[in-house]
A = this chain, B = another copy of it.
Amino acid sequence: MKIDPKNPADLSAQIAKAIRDAIICGDLPVDERLPSEAELAEQFDVSRPTVREALKRLAAQSLIRTQRGATGGAFVNRLKFEDAYGQQITTSTLLLSMNEISFATACEARYALERACAPLSATRRTADHLATMRAEAHRQNQPGLTDEAFCASDVAFHRALVDAAGNPVLSYQLAGAVEAMQPLMNMITFSARSREKIVSLHTSIADAIEAQDASAADESLAALAQYTQKLAQDVIAERQAERS
């Protein structure tokens, strides 16, 4: 862990890497206290600001938490799924917005992953998940809803569907795919007619999940995927027509 080549640049990155590796390989167990900043500075033979920059890098990844005071210091953080969700969503969102990912590609990925969850959700869904899905579908029927609120409710519906699979790893992976789509979805203006169709498909999905009918759920999801793609195509075509 005390590896530090004579390269006097990126010292804070090197130190962060050394500590990160120690955490990943298990040398530093969860809740273990790191040496104080002054001690680390001495160990690595650098100044305290440099150590602090390294620690801030780790804090940005939720690998450590810091506490002030006499018994304070930096502690190895138990990375929780909730913490990871946020990073996952931020990263996914930026990946989509910065890499010219087409709506079609993102949409395909999202629904492919969601359909992977559906059979498990059909088997394991609880009353709680079902209630959330029903409530969101109901909300989506309210006439006064803005497009943004409609999309947010859509995300909540699909989150519940994914969470119903009862597999935290799946929920974590899907969080990025589903939530990162929201900005793209917000660019679509939903007509009353299209909302009606979507809510009807959501209801079909909820029905299938309630009946624990995996293949029916898959069918409805596939139909929803297809319809969403079609909606997006129409909107894009309409905008191009307007432009000319």
Contacts and interface: CB of A to CB of B under 8 A. Distances in A.
Interface of A: 12-13, 16, 20, 23-24, 26, 30, 49, 52-54, 56-61, 63, 78-81, 84, 87-88, 90-99, 101, 105-106, 108-110, 112-113, 115-117, 120, 165, 167-170, 172-173, 176-177
A228 B16 CA distance: 36
Contact of A99 (B81, B106, B117, B176): B81
Contacts of A12: 56
Contact of A120 (B92, B98, B108): B108
Q: Is the interface of A mostly helix, strand, loop or mixed?
A: helix
B172 A173 contact: no
25 contacts: A24-B90, A24-B93, A24-B94, A30-B98, A52-B53, A54-B56, A56-B57, A57-B59, A78-B98, A78-B99, A84-B95, A87-B91, A92-B172, A95-B172, A105-B168, A109-B169, A110-B169, A112-B120, A112-B165, A112-B167, A112-B170, A113-B116, A115-B116, A173-B173, A173-B176
Given A57-B59, A95-B172, A173-B176, 17 more contacts: A49-B49, A53-B56, A56-B56, A56-B60, A61-B87, A78-B98, A79-B95, A87-B91, A88-B88, A95-B169, A101-B169, A108-B170, A109-B170, A109-B173, A112-B116, A112-B165, A169-B177
Contact of A105 (B16, B53, B169): B169
Contacts of A87: 61, 87, 91
Contacts of A16: 60
A11 to B, nearest CB: 11
Contacts of A23: 94
Contacts of A58: 60
B56 A97 contact: no
Contact of A79 (B63, B91, B168): B91
Contact of A167 (B26, B108, B117, B167): B108
